[in-house]
Structure 1
Amino acid sequence: MFQKIKRIVLGRSLKSDELDHEKFSVLWGLPILSSDAISSVSYACEEILMVLIPVLGLASYRPLMGVAFAIICLLMILVFSYRQTISAYPQGGGSYIVASENLGKTAGLVAASSLAIDYVLTVAVSICAGTAAITSAFPSLLPYKTLIAFVMVSLLAIGNLRGMRESSILFGLPTYMFMISILIMIITGIIKVLVLKEIPPVSADLHQPMQDLTLVLFLKAFSSGCTALTGVEAVSDGIPNFKAPAQKNAKRVLTLLACIVFMIFVGVCFLATMYHVVPNENVTAIAQISSHVFGNDTLMFYIVQATTAIILTMAANTAFADLPLLFSILAKDGYVPRQFMARGSRLSFSNGIIMLFLLSASLVMIFHANTHHLMPLYAVGVFLSFTLSQAGMFVRWLKTKEGKWKHKAFINGLGTIITAITCMIIAASKFFHGAWIVLLCIPIFVFVMRKIHQHYEQVKRDLDITEINDSLIRKQPVPTRIILPVDSINRSFIKAVNYAYTLHCDNMEIYHVDVDAYATQKLQHKYGCLQLDIPLCCEQAPYRNINETLLHHIEEEAKHLLPQQTLTIIIPQFVVTHVQKNILHNQTSLLLKHKLSYMRNVSIISVPYVLHE
Structure 2
Amino acid sequence: MVRELKQFLIGEPLNNVDLKDEKYNVRWGLPILSSDAISSVAYAGEEMLLVMIPVIGLMSYKYVFYISLAIIGLLTLLMLSYRQTIDNYPNGGGAYIVAKENLGVFAGVTAGAALSIDYIMTVAVSVSSGVAQIASAFEVLRPYVVPISVILVILLMLGNLRGIRESSKIFGLPAYLFIFAVLSMLVVGFYKYFTGVPIVEPKVSSNYYGTTASVSIILILRAFSNGCTALTGVEAVSNAVPNFKEPSTKNAKMVLLLLSAIILVLFGGTSILANIYHATPGAGHQTVLVQMADQIFGRATFLNSAMFYFITTMLFLILVLAANTAFSGFPMLVSVMASEGFVPRQLKMRGDRLSYSNGIIILSVAAALLIIIFDAKVSSLMGLYAVGVFISFTLSQTGMLFRWFRNKGNHWHIKALINGAGALVTGIAVIIIAVTKFNEGAWIVVIVIPILMTLMLKVKKHYVALAKQLRINQEEYESIDISRDHYRNRVIVPIASINKSSVRALRYAKTISDNVTAFSVAIDDEAEQKLKNNYGKIKTDIPLIVKYSPYRKVIEPLLEFIKSEEYDYKPGDIITVILPQFAVKKWWQKLLHNGTRIFIERELMKHKHIVVSTIPLQMNDDDDVIRSPKYNPTHEKPWEM
| TM-score (norm. length: structure 1) | 0.95
Secondary structure at 2:342 match in 1: coil
Q: 1:493 aligns with which of 498, 502, 507?
A: 502
- Counterpart of 1:212? 214
Change (3 A) 1:154 1:510: closer
Q: 1:368 offset after TM fit, Å?
A: 1.8
Change (3 A) 1:392 1:507: same
Native 8 Å contact 1:79 1:258 kept in 2 = yes
Q: 1:566 & 1:544 partners in 2: Cα distance?
A: 27
Q: 1:494 & 1:81 partners in 2: Cα distance?
A: 69
Q: What amino acid is aligned across from residue 155 of structure 1 in structure 2?
A: L
User: Is 287-296 or 262-271 further displaced after alignment?
Assistant: 287-296
Q: 1:14 offset after TM fit, Å?
A: 0.7
Secondary structure at 1:90 match in 2: coil
Q: 1:339 aligns with which of 335, 346, 349?
A: 346
Q: 2:602 aligns with which of 590, 594, 597?
A: 594
Q: 1:564 offset after TM fit, Å?
A: 4.3
Q: 1:466 & 1:175 partners in 2: Cα distance?
A: 55
User: Is 304-313 or 557-566 further displaced after alignment?
Assistant: 557-566
Q: 2:297 & 2:307 partners in 1: Cα distance?
A: 6
Q: 1:235 & 1:546 partners in 2: Cα distance?
A: 55
Deviations 1:350-388 (A, max 9, x none): 111111111111111222221112111111111111111
Deviations 1:579-602 (A, max 9, x none): 423334463333222221111011
User: Is 556-565 or 229-238 further displaced after alignment?
Assistant: 556-565
Q: What amino acid is aligned across from residue 38 of structure 1 in structure 2?
A: I
1:184-333 paired onto structure 2 within 5 Å:
184-196=184-196, 198-201=198-201, 205=205, 207=209, 209-280=211-282, 282-296=285-299, 298-333=305-340
Deviations 1:247-303 (A, max 9, x none): 000000000011100000111011111111111172111011111111136111111
Secondary structure at 1:482 match in 2: strand
Change (3 A) 1:519 1:150: closer
Q: 2:25 & 2:565 partners in 1: Cα distance?
A: 64
- Counterpart of 1:461? 468
Q: 1:518 & 1:306 partners in 2: Cα distance?
A: 71
Q: 1:497 & 1:199 partners in 2: Cα distance?
A: 88
* Structure 2 residues not aligned, in runs of 5+: 623-641
Q: 1:187 offset after TM fit, Å?
A: 1.1
Q: What amino acid is aligned across from residue 391 of structure 2 in structure 1?
A: L
Secondary structure at 1:608 match in 2: strand
Q: 1:338 offset after TM fit, Å?
A: 1.2
Q: 1:472 offset after TM fit, Å?
A: 2.6
Q: 1:49 offset after TM fit, Å?
A: 1.2
Q: 1:497 offset after TM fit, Å?
A: 2.3
Percentage of pairs with the same residue: 45
Q: 2:560 & 2:23 partners in 1: Cα distance?
A: 57
* Structure 1 residues not aligned, in runs of 5+: none
Q: 2:195 & 2:31 partners in 1: Cα distance?
A: 33
Q: 1:204 & 1:569 partners in 2: Cα distance?
A: 76
Deviations 1:417-439 (A, max 9, x none): 11111111111111111111111
1:558-577 paired onto structure 2 within 5 Å:
561=569, 564-577=572-585
Q: 2:21 & 2:565 partners in 1: Cα distance?
A: 58
- Counterpart of 1:379? 386
Q: 1:579 & 1:228 partners in 2: Cα distance?
A: 46
User: Is 302-311 or 516-525 further displaced after alignment?
Assistant: 516-525
Change (3 A) 1:585 1:417: same
Q: What is the number of residues matched between the two proteins?
A: 612
In the alignment, structure 1 residue 122 sits paired with structure 2 residue 119: no
Q: 1:50 & 1:515 partners in 2: Cα distance?
A: 69
Q: What amino acid is aligned across from residue 296 of structure 2 in structure 1?
A: V
- Counterpart of 1:71? 71
Change (3 A) 1:470 1:494: farther
Deviations 1:157-212 (A, max 9, x none): 11111111111111111100111111111011111111345455475546574122
Q: 1:584 & 1:368 partners in 2: Cα distance?
A: 36
Deviations 1:290-330 (A, max 9, x none): 11111136111111111111111111110011101111111
User: Is 522-531 or 357-366 further displaced after alignment?
Assistant: 522-531
Q: 1:142 & 1:439 partners in 2: Cα distance?
A: 32
User: Is 529-538 or 266-275 further displaced after alignment?
Assistant: 529-538
Q: 1:610 offset after TM fit, Å?
A: 3.1
Q: 1:306 & 1:557 partners in 2: Cα distance?
A: 77
Q: 1:543 & 1:123 partners in 2: Cα distance?
A: 50
Q: 1:59 offset after TM fit, Å?
A: 1.8
| TM-score (norm. length: structure 2) | 0.91
- Counterpart of 2:492? 483
Change (3 A) 1:563 1:466: farther
In the alignment, structure 1 residue 417 sits paired with structure 2 residue 420: no
- Counterpart of 1:30? 30
1:41-52 paired onto structure 2 within 5 Å:
41-52=41-52
- Counterpart of 2:632? none
- Counterpart of 2:629? none
- Counterpart of 1:390? 397
Secondary structure at 1:502 match in 2: helix
Q: 1:456 & 1:325 partners in 2: Cα distance?
A: 20
- Counterpart of 2:7? 7
Q: What amino acid is aligned across from residue 263 of structure 1 in structure 2?
A: V
Secondary structure at 1:593 match in 2: helix
Native 8 Å contact 2:330 2:359 kept in 1 = yes
Deviations 1:557-576 (A, max 9, x none): 79965564311222333333
Q: 2:591 aligns with which of 583, 595, 604?
A: 583
Change (3 A) 1:470 1:180: same
Secondary structure at 2:492 match in 1: strand
- Counterpart of 2:412? 405
Native 8 Å contact 1:200 1:274 kept in 2 = no
Indicate the RMSD between aligned Cα atoms, in angstroms. Answer: 2.1
Q: What amino acid is aligned across from residue 232 of structure 1 in structure 2?
A: V
- Counterpart of 1:549? 557
Secondary structure at 2:437 match in 1: helix
Q: 1:140 offset after TM fit, Å?
A: 2.1
- Counterpart of 2:616? 608
